[in-house]
Structure 1
């Protein structure tokens, strides 16, 4: 056996020793490898005396004796070399040296391999969002179409389409799993809708198939099966006896045989929850319904538990809050009930709205609280607890307008709403304009001695420079009024008062044929009465309004001349469709008891302008003096019609106005002038902003060609 073969056998034996315990490998001398297989102390053989390649190094007998006995069974394990075998000793020594050299050659372990692995729940598998130098490709999009069947028979298809997840996806999804998820969601939606309509055995299934060219599109179908319609069986209310006895059954409008629809049932319960506090039960509690379905008869027995609480009546008010505005005495003014009146939640809502309308609070709430005190009729007294926190008392406001003939007009105001509690306000107002300047100070006491009644005193000074006249005016007024507000619009409104005016004005004196100035002292008792059936104070869309003014007056310039200023106005609003409202106005006025030329120019009637007849300048209509300026009159009439078309927060308003001023005490209707135009509206939370452009029809010399009006609010 050659040395190469031996070496091969040794390697094979080492391989086996590494795998099987108790196996040793005898290392065989390799020719030409000195120091191997002999002690290190032995002298190296002379090359000349070296044995030839085929010379036997280890005799066969010695080798066989050193090798373990091999059993005839090839599957039997090898036995270990004898411990006292020299070959075994040499082989083990050589194996130890080889292993030591191998271990020294292994590089030190990198620190990363010694570090602890992160917990499994913190191990992130997300791929990096962006790789350097690699551009993102477009997202994959799957297109789909969808349809629903079976819901149109129960009139539920439109509602289903409004809520459908497939519809909201707009026919696109990132992958097919998302399409499937939307389909499953719509399955559940269809079942909920059918059950809400009384089909409690309803089922729905969705199918998703490939369709379209190259089958690259998905087709989704939701198939709904309503099943039989369930109806109400027995209807019962579990509650203590009420007063009157039929209070509960009368206000729960459910009866045997009605479809068991969710909206019908919920609406009936909501009605009962609303009616009980309106009929003396402020603490009533409507519990959770119980419906027992019968699959054989397709009916459901309905049971509703109700806790009535004590039947109650009003006593008075309590209040709390860290910054209180009103005390108990002033709160009593807002009550539209007397002590002992049966509790009615509508009257509580009325008090809350009235308090909000004062604009005195940052937050305010009104709720009933039990007192434990019984009234003579057997009901329990309740108080209304007002939780109030004062708001900021001061307000700055401004208004800017423009119109042809009147120019720019800027009005600003400062208000302290509670300078003289309760509700004693001080208001300062200033006007700066092209043709008007002035200032007014007003004291106003709201809810004076009675709810919604206002007492006010005003002191003002004003300068006006119009085409008709120029005046310097001082006035002192006192007024009691009952007014509407944007929060609290009232059907009936009124005011009455006293007004004292001193005015220095120029006029055209027909007696001398020239303009002169005069000073008048005017005393008046102005009154007003209004009736409002419109649906909104600032932007009405239906209903009508009627207003009447009467002011007995006397002007003193040398002699007292009594007269009366009267005016009647009516407006109406008719919705042609949801986006178009036709609005109309008619107004007439008369001043009996005095000649026109004896009237101060500022107390005469005029027409023309943005709040009168659009298309004409301010005070432009009516008789004129020889110098071409308006002189006013003792009567007038005005008419207007417009179509208000609104789209979103904007609108377009074409209109036609008409009117005239007359010398006589009654409007004759002759020589009525017309103006036509179009306006734009921008609707805000405080009212519409108005821009109108108009031109006179059959324009006369000296009249405006085009008039522009910019202001806040509708024309009427």
Structure 2
């Protein structure tokens, strides 16, 4: 081949490659005469042409397909806002897209003009639906004289069906409907007839997918209410119980399409099991306490009955400056779901720990049996009976504590998010009676309370005010005969940021030369959380703590600023606090962790 022919071939290949390149972004004009700003935003938000106008990778075929799809998308948007006589025109280089055959699609598109004339909004001349169940929650917009938005009609039907299902009529449906638009009067007449169907009872539960979990235990955990009047909430609770076990990666419930001769309805349950084992690790650091590490090992189904077996360990105080050494803990817990009923779990647990604090060293362990009950998606309770032993060494010598104790907690969690709440509140109360069974232990009770509240403001709750009050009191036993774990300290990330960890207690032991925790505690915290972007936020905080006991009392406060970076597992938290009042610390304290401070 000659060089001349080679150059011609090369040039032809280059031109062919250029012709195959994607066309550049098209010029888009969007006209919405007579539309309000909010309606225009809704229309452009629904348009594929609008969302892809700056995407240079789109070729002519994709632009043509988007244009044809936009007719339906824009008309649906107009209907959803109550406009039923709108006119939509989409021109591609001057040609109406709807008139172009798919087999004659243009090879290039440079200019796109979308014109939407919404026309007048329509109102209901009639809005009738029935019969409806007594507790049906129909939308306020479904009424004569209101704007006839198509979404309101759909919502009215959905509410009517849900109302009958909540009343036990599982097969409620629409029997007939008449929706007529009068374009001369700009009105919609909607008349919908419901067919509630018979009162339904739960039949049998058909299960599938479980390979390691025994079928009998799967049924016990699910708690399917055979024979009871149908209630969709029962199916939601059944799925929630199964997901809480952590055994399953998927839980699907299917209602039988037809009823039995006695108006009973069977339900299908299909599950997919997770891997049997899981390993978890975590870390938290602050400038005073140092680095804390924790790890856990979990078996999700130890004996084939859904038993969760956990071993967890932690070490803290690595590189800390509090004057103490390292703290260690190692614990194990065996939990069995659906022990007495589907919503009650029973557990056995044991823990050994060592605390090496500035004023004392403690070695101890406890072992016990307990039950936890989930009453609903917000209210839970836990109670147990345990035995505890500890050896405390300080400047006064060695003290042994031995006690049987009965920890009970009740929690009401109405937050919208556990790790990053923007609205709602959280209440937790604790009562731990203890009986000394030897050594130097007294008899009494510890009482605790934790109250948190959150209020968001602005778009997407970009500004959040958060507050917390912590309360604690020991009754019945003297300070020197109360186990150290029941006493209260202030200072550190969980109470007063900006003050050293557990820096505030009382000095009433050993003639006033020995520090210990107090018998009473009050902690108050407030935060202003501001979202700078969708991922980054800043926080200003103020914390106050008060401790008293043995005729002595003291208080401290701290304040500072924080930075939050949102992730899929909660915000990464960085707080820098300074002491505001009290004589327990000086200089900045830095805290790093996952999740909000409270």
The answer as to 2:315 corresponding to 1:315 is no
In structure 1, the residue corresponding to 2:480 is in which secondary structure? helix
In structure 1, the residue corresponding to 2:369 is in which secondary structure? strand
Give the Å deviation of 1:611.
Answer: 0.8
Deviation string, structure 1 residues 512-555 (Cα, Å, up to 9, x no partner): xxxx2232222222222233332233332222222222222234
The answer as to 2:500 corresponding to 1:610 is no
In structure 1, the residue corresponding to 2:234 is in which secondary structure? helix
Q: Counterpart in 2 of 1:130?
A: 14
The answer as to 2:596 corresponding to 1:705 is no
In structure 2, the residue corresponding to 1:355 is in which secondary structure? helix
Deviation string, structure 1 residues 108-160 (Cα, Å, up to 9, x no partner): xxxxxxxxxxxxxxxxxxx955269x999x99979857352424259622212
Aligned equivalents of 2:71 and 2:484: distance in 1? 78
Give the Å deviation of 1:675.
Answer: 0.8
Q: Counterpart in 2 of 1:361?
A: 248
Find the partner of 1:268 among 144, 150, 156: 156
Q: Greater strand percent: which structure? A: 2
Give the Å deviation of 1:276.
Answer: 4.0
Q: Counterpart in 2 of 1:660?
A: 546
Give the Å deviation of 1:203.
Answer: 2.7
Whether the aligned pair in 1 keeps the contact of 2:498 and 2:588 (CA below 8 Å) is yes
The answer as to 2:574 corresponding to 1:681 is no
In structure 1, the residue corresponding to 2:506 is in which secondary structure? coil
Deviation string, structure 1 residues 38-82 (Cα, Å, up to 9, x no partner): xxxxxxxxxxxxxxxxxxxxxxxxxxxxxxxxxxxxxxxxxxxxx
Whether the aligned pair in 1 keeps the contact of 2:506 and 2:554 (CA below 8 Å) is no
> CA distance change for structure 1 residues 221 and 309 in 2, over 3 Å: closer, same or farther?
same
Whether the aligned pair in 2 keeps the contact of 1:610 and 1:715 (CA below 8 Å) is yes
Give the Å deviation of 1:605.
Answer: 1.9
Which ranges in structure 2 are unaligned for 5 or more consecutive residues? 1-10, 95-109, 319-325
Aligned equivalents of 2:338 and 2:26: distance in 1? 66
Aligned equivalents of 1:131 and 1:297: distance in 2? 60
The answer as to 2:513 corresponding to 1:622 is no
Whether the aligned pair in 1 keeps the contact of 2:557 and 2:582 (CA below 8 Å) is no
Whether the aligned pair in 2 keeps the contact of 1:348 and 1:367 (CA below 8 Å) is no
Give the Å deviation of 1:465.
Answer: 0.6
Aligned equivalents of 1:249 and 1:504: distance in 2? 61
Q: Counterpart in 2 of 1:417?
A: 300
Find the partner of 1:277 among 152, 157, 165: 165
Aligned equivalents of 2:518 and 2:134: distance in 1? 66
> CA distance change for structure 1 residues 711 and 225 in 2, over 3 Å: closer, same or farther?
closer
Give the Å deviation of 1:620.
Answer: 0.8
Aligned equivalents of 2:374 and 2:194: distance in 1? 42
The answer as to 2:520 corresponding to 1:635 is yes
Q: Counterpart in 1 of 2:331?
A: 440
Aligned equivalents of 1:559 and 1:199: distance in 2? 80
> CA distance change for structure 1 residues 381 and 227 in 2, over 3 Å: closer, same or farther?
same
Give the Å deviation of 1:400.
Answer: 1.2
Q: Counterpart in 1 of 2:385?
A: 498
In structure 2, the residue corresponding to 1:348 is in which secondary structure? helix
Q: Counterpart in 1 of 2:343?
A: 452
1:401-550 aligned within 5 A: 401-433=284-316, 434=318, 435-482=326-373, 490-509=377-396, 516-550=397-431
Aligned equivalents of 2:86 and 2:278: distance in 1? 60
> CA distance change for structure 1 residues 392 and 152 in 2, over 3 Å: closer, same or farther?
same
Whether the aligned pair in 2 keeps the contact of 1:404 and 1:617 (CA below 8 Å) is no
Whether the aligned pair in 2 keeps the contact of 1:447 and 1:453 (CA below 8 Å) is yes
Aligned equivalents of 1:249 and 1:709: distance in 2? 50
> CA distance change for structure 1 residues 144 and 538 in 2, over 3 Å: closer, same or farther?
closer
1:67-106 aligned within 5 A: none
TM-score if structure 1 supplies the norm length? 0.67
The structure whose RCO (Cα within 8 Å, separation 6+) is larger is 2
TM-score if structure 2 supplies the norm length? 0.79
Give the Å deviation of 1:197.
Answer: 4.5
Kindly report the root-mean-square deviation, in angstroms, between the aligned alpha carbons of the 2 structures: 4.2
Q: Counterpart in 1 of 2:449?
A: 568
